[in-house]
Amino acid sequence: MSQTMFRLTESVTLGHPASAVWQYLVAFEQVPLWEQGMVTVSRLAEGPPRIGDRIIARRIYAGRETQLDGHISEFEDGRLATLRLRGGPLADAWVQYKVEPVDDRRARVTYSTWGSLRGPLRLLHPVVHVIGRTEARKNLRKLGRRIDAGVSPTSDIDVG
């Protein structure tokens, strides 16, 4: 891995079909209910998600709220969504959620992120995967609890 980039990948198997899990991942506005540090996520387009849709998010980094601007850069309905984001500490970054069926009742969700940080924060590139791994695991477990609780993918109910 180059010193000019960071990379992190984490996966979890959930006890739900891939098609059910996918509905939660593409309910972008609900992501703050299961992803720590996210304040808001907005997709500025009507209809189903597609490549090019603009994304605006507000996220807390090191105790400070910042705006991230981006777009959907890759999309395979039912399987994969990649967002390209810039803003705050991110010079240029990608976040990807992928869903793969394990069998008829289980799905593997993989969260990946890669990119580069701004200015002196680039010094953190070698340790971003260590810092982010624990948070990614917690987020994926919280997503699983949300699905386990049977809360609609578009509901504002927080299951904690």
Domain count, the chain: 1
Tell me the two tokens of residue 146: 């949300």
Q: Which CATH number goes with the domain that contains 118?
A: 3.30.530.20
In a domain, 156, yes or no: no
Tell me the two tokens of residue 3: 């010193």
State how far the Cα of 156 lies from the Cα of 158, in Å rounded to an integer.
6
- Amino acid 68 reads L
Determine contact, residues 82/73, Cβ cutoff 8 Å: yes
In a domain, 158, yes or no: no
What range does the domain containing 120 cover? 6-148
In a domain, 54, yes or no: yes
Phi first, then psi: what are they for 20, rounded to 5°?
Answer: -70, -45
Residues 6+ apart with CB under 8 A from 145: 34, 159, 160
DSSP state of 2: -
| pLDDT per residue as tens digits for the range 22-62 | 999 999 999 999 999 999 999 999 999 999 999 999 999 98
pLDDT band at 2 (very low <50, low <70, confident <90, very high): very low
In a domain, 82, yes or no: yes
User: Per-residue pLDDT averaged across 8-13, rounded?
Assistant: 96
C-alpha distance from residue 29 to each of 6, 23, 42, 107, 124 (Å): 26, 12, 6, 22, 29
Stretch among 6-20, 37-51, 99-113, 119-133 having the lowest mean pLDDT: 119-133
Residue 75: strand, helix, or coil: strand
In a domain, 44, yes or no: yes
